[in-house]
Every structure is written in structure tokens, then in C-alpha cells.
């Protein structure tokens, strides 16, 4: 037997893998539809671990700065998104994640609802978001923080390249280790992330009480919402609040997903709402709007407010920068842990090039080959983003590559959300330990509201500046993005086109393989 056993033979029928504990809704139980258990898995995720993975994956420092560039109205729109998007979104995925706890999460849900073809393409967009994000905005943000607050790296220098490569591959390697050990890395990242945001928010409050809140009085930083501000912020806002279903990709590695998933989704969503709303408000309160940048927003604001610590300000700022970089690294790790499992399931069923990519390591219980493919993809995208840096400044590059990740992830939800509705109709016999309030009507209304948001966000991410003229709002594309529309669309539409071709090629290539 090879070191990494192929999972293909285990996806045709439902039966528990090693370490699985059967139950009324567990793998192989009455609620488990005809999807297979993956071999070499061990149940190692308890409720706290699921919450930690959700927090580590979803709450993002790179989004904080980008949201803060929207000025005071960003706070207003965050509050609106929490009420009218995050709440129904959390309800939908809490119910579905508890009812269908098979390994693969969203991939299994779309497969059961619409078939393997739709599931394979949807999962490709969901998966590729993460190496693109890791090799794009996360690594650029980490390098900028390291360069400004720890050791000078420069831009495009050998030191800059070396740092970014180490960052990417450390994140990948933490996803390679067994989940029993790897979960502690993401848990540490979640704790550090929430701790850093809490420290910054409290410090900003003390700073403001001593020196005033110059940001709140600056022109253009009022909280009144505007159409232009809404259209600019909605893709990033939605990106900030999706992903709480991600731990369900490791559903068969949870001790009790039926009980723990709904609670974990609720807790992590509440934590995320606070961790976006309060730090963004703090950044805007202490920093004049004209000085806020997407790539440096959080740490530059921290440099300002940490001045209240006197002689301790520099060592505390250095510590905060280390926490910042570590949190970004573990954020990439958390997404690699879950999305690589989903894409490995696609490969194991013969819908993505080689079935060997779907192998789970017999000792580690992780899809090592898919992890390594993610690392190669992240490295390639990082190299492409570095090339783009020659056409614009660092902040412009950061905004564009973040938008690419926003686009691919939101497009995947255009299929995932309808799949949840279809499963409720097609699989009424599956026990649902948690149900959305209001029954079928409440579920359908929540799904419709979430879907409308996703459609709007996807369009604004792919084609920024196209709705504004229809609503009488002026839009300066180059002034907004720092690059031409052609350069922007090469990265966004070009990425989507490449993914569609890659998905088709992956299916055809596997069909043509002998045997």
C-alpha cells in the first residue's frame, strides 16, 4: 500500500472510517445520505475547536483596513450587514451543517442537491480563493507589517521574496500536520487575533479620552450612509462575514457536529461582528480619514494610539506586529485546513485531474498532496501580484488582489446557498437537530435575503463602477483602484476564466486517464 492511500474507494457508499463513532446522525447513521466516509480520519474537534477555527478563518486583519478606508459610514454598513446578512446566513448554515455533517461540508451539500459537476466547479472556486488570498493580500499585509515594525524588507528585494515564501509555506505546513495537532495552531491564532483587536480597541479608547477623537470630527467621516459608499464596501463586507460553514468541511473529524455546529456558528458569528465593528470604529475615531490605507490601516492606527504607553510603546508595538503577522499566518492555515479537504474530496471522486490528489495521509489524516498544490498555487499568485506591483503602489496592488479573492469566494455561494434550499426540499427525511425559526418559510426567506446580497456583492466585485452611473453616482476607476480597468479585469475576470477552464480541463483529463 502506498504511503498516501487513495480515497476513491471510500466515496461510493456511507460507512464509518477508522476512529468514527456511529450515532443517529453520524457517518453511516440514518441521517447520512449516500456519501462516503473518508479513511484515516480521527474525531478531534470539540465545540471550542470548531469556534476557534471559525474565528481564525473568518476574522481578517486585511479586511479591517480596507473597510476603514470607507470612512464613518463603514460602521453603519457593518451594522446593517450584521442584521440583514450575517444573521440569516448563520441560521442557514447552522441548520445545514448540523443535518449534514459529512466530511467535505459544502462540497457534499452541493453534490447531494445538484450533482457532482456543479459541486466540483463550486468547490474549485471555494478552494482556490484561499491560496489566492494567502498568496495575495495576506502575505502582502504580513510583509508590510514586518517591513514597517520589525525588520526592513524593501519591496521586490530578495528579503521581501524570502519572507513571503516562508510565510506561505509555513501556513501550508501547519495544514499538513494532523488536525489533532494543527488545531492548536489555529486556536492560538484565534486567541492572538481577538486579543490583539481587544488590546487595540481599548488602547484607542484611552487614547481618545486623553487626546480627543480626531477621526470622528474629520470631514468625510460621518456615519451617514451613501449609495457610493455602499457599492464600494458591499463586496468586502460580505467577504468579511462568510465562511462560518468552513469547519463543516471537517465534519467527520468533529466529536458531535449535530450538537456543536449550531452553537459554534452562533458564537463565532457574534465574535466576528464585534471584532469588525469595534476595531473599525476605533481606527476611524483616532485616525483622520485621509491617512487610512487598506494595507496599513490597523498597524498604523496602533502606532498612533500605543503612544500612550510611553517608553513601553515601542516594545508593545513590536509585540503587536508579531501578533499581527502570526494571526495572518494562522488565518491562511485555517482556510487551508478546511478548503483543501473539500477539494481533495472532488479529486477523490475523479472530478479534478488525478484521484491521487484526493489521498488522505494514513498517519496524518490530511490531504497532503492537495495541501502542497495549494502552496504552489499561492506561490504562483504571489509572483503574479509582485509583477502587478510594478504598475501601481503597494496599496493598489493589495486592493486588487483582495478583490480577486472576494470574487472567487462570493461566486461559489451563488451555488451553495440554493443547494441548502434544495436539500431541505429533497431530503426531508434527514433529522435536523437545529432548525431556522419560521419553518420552511423562515428558511426560504433567509436564503432569499442572503442570495440577493451575494448576487449584488459578486457583481460589484467583478464589475466595479458599473452600477454607479445607473444610480447617478460618479466613479473614478483609476482614482479608486490605482490601476486601469484593463489591468483590474485581467486579474479578476481573467482569474474567473482560468478557473472555469481549469475545472473543465480537470474533469476531462481525469475521464481520459486509462483505467
- Ramachandran category for residue 105: left, alpha or beta (phi over 0 → left; psi -120 to 50 → alpha): left
Please say if the pLDDT value at position 434 is more than 70.
yes
Residues 6+ apart with CB under 8 A from 285: 204, 208, 213, 215, 216
CA distance 24 to 183: 26
Residues 145 and 322 sit within 8 Å (Cβ to Cβ): no
Percentage of the chain surpassing pLDDT 90?
23
Residues 176-185 have a mean pLDDT of 82
Angle (nearest 5°) at CA 290 between 488 and 68? 65
CA distance 148 to 299: 9
Please say if the pLDDT value at position 379 is more than 90.
yes
CA distance 231 to 428: 38
Quick one: cell of 120?
466540483
> C-alpha distances in angstroms, 14 versus 38, 39, 169?
9, 12, 34
In order of start, what are the domains of the chain with their CATH numbers?
47-512 (1.20.1740.10)
Enter the pTM of the model: 0.82
Pick from 408, 397, 385, 384: nearest CA to 293: 397
Adjacent-strand bridge partners of 254: 45
Q: Which of 39-53, 171-185, 249-263, 358-372 has the lowest mean pLDDT?
A: 39-53
Residues 306-334 have a mean pLDDT of 88
- Tell me the longest C-alpha to C-alpha distance in the chain: 73
CA distance 495 to 124: 12
Q: Which of 36-40, 178-182, 189-193, 456-460 has the lowest mean pLDDT?
A: 36-40
The pLDDT score that the predictor gives to residue 100 is: 92
Amino acid at each position: 500500500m502506498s504511503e498516501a492511500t487513495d480515497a476513491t474507494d471510500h466515496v461510493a457508499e456511507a460507512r464509518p472510517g477508522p476512529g468514527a463513532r456511529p450515532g443517529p446522525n453520524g457517518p453511516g447513521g440514518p441521517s447520512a445520505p449516500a456519501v462516503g466516509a473518508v479513511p484515516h480520519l480521527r474525531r478531534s474537534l470539540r465545540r471550542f475547536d470548531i469556534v476557534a477555527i471559525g474565528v481564525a478563518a473568518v476574522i481578517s486583519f486585511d479586511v479591517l483596513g480596507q473597510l476603514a478606508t470607507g470612512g464613518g459610514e463603514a460602521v453603519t454598513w457593518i451594522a446593517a450587514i450584521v442584521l440583514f446578512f450575517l444573521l440569516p446566513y448563520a441560521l442557514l448554515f447552522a441548520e445545514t451543517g448540523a443535518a449534514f455533517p459529512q466530511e467535505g461540508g459544502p462540497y457534499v451539500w452541493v453534490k447531494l442537491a445538484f450533482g457532482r459537476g456543479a459541486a466540483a466547479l463550486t468547490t474549485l472556486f471555494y478552494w482556490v480563493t484561499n491560496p489566492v488570498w494567502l498568496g495575495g493580500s495576506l502575505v502582502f499585509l504580513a510583509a508590510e507589517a514586518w517591513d514597517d515594525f520589525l525588520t526592513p524588507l524593501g519591496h521586490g528585494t530578495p528579503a521581501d521574496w524570502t519572507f513571503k515564501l516562508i510565510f506561505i509555506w509555513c501556513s501550508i505546513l501547519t495544514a499538513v500536520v494532523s488536525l489533532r495537532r494543527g488545531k492548536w495552531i489555529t486556536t492560538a491564532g484565534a486567541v492572538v487575533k481577538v486579543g490583539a483587536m481587544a488590546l487595540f480597541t481599548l488602547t484607542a479608547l484611552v487614547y481618545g479620552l486623553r487626546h480627543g477623537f480626531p477621526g470622528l470630527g474629520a470631514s468625510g467621516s460621518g456615519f451617514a450612509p451613501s449609495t457610493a459608499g455602499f457599492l464600494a464596501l458591499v463586496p468586502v463586507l460580505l467577504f468579511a462575514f462568510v465562511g462560518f460553514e468552513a469547519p463543516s468541511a471537517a465534519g467527520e473529524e468533529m466529536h458531535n457536529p449535530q450538537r456543536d455546529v449550531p452553537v459554534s456558528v452562533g458564537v463565532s458569528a457574534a465574535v466576528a461582528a464585534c471584532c469588525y465593528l469595534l476595531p473599525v470604529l476605533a481606527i476611524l475615531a483616532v485616525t483622520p480619514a485621509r491617512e487610512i490605507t487598506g494595507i496599513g490601516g490597523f498597524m498604523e492606527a496602533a502606532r498612533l494610539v500605543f503612544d500612550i504607553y510611553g517608553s513601553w510603546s515601542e516594545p508593545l508595538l513590536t509585540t503587536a506586529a508579531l501578533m499581527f503577522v502570526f494571526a495572518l499566518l494562522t488565518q491562511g492555515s485555517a482556510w487551508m485546513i478546511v478548503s483543501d479537504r473539500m477539494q481533495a474530496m472532488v479529486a477523490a471522486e475523479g472530478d479534478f485531474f488525478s484521484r491521487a490528489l484526493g489521498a488522505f495521509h494514513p498517519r496524518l489524516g490530511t490531504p497532503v498532496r492537495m495541501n502542497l498544490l495549494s502552496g504552489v498555487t499561492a506561490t504562483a499568485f504571489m509572483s503574479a501580484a509582485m509583477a502587478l506591483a510594478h504598475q501601481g503602489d503597494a496599496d493598489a496592488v493589495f486592493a486588487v488582489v483582495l478583490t480577486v479573492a472576494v470574487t472567487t469566494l462570493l461566486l461559489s455561494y451563488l451555488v451553495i446557498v440554493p443547494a441548502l434550499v434544495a436539500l431541505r426540499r429533497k431530503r426531508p427525511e434527514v433529522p435536523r437537530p437545529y432548525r431556522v425559526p419560521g419553518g420552511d418559510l423562515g428558511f426560504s426567506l433567509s436564503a432569499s435575503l442572503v442570495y440577493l446580497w451575494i448576487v449584488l456583492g459578486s457583481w460589484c466585485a467583478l464589475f466595479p463602477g458599473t452600477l454607479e452611473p445607473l444610480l447617478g453616482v460618479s466613479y473614478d476607476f483609476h482614482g479608486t483602484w490605482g490601476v486601469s480597468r484593463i489591468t483590474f479585469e485581467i486579474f479578476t475576470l481573467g482569474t474567473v476564466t482560468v478557473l472555469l477552464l481549469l475545472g473543465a480541463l480537470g474533469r476531462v483529463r481525469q475521464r481520459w486517464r486509462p483505467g
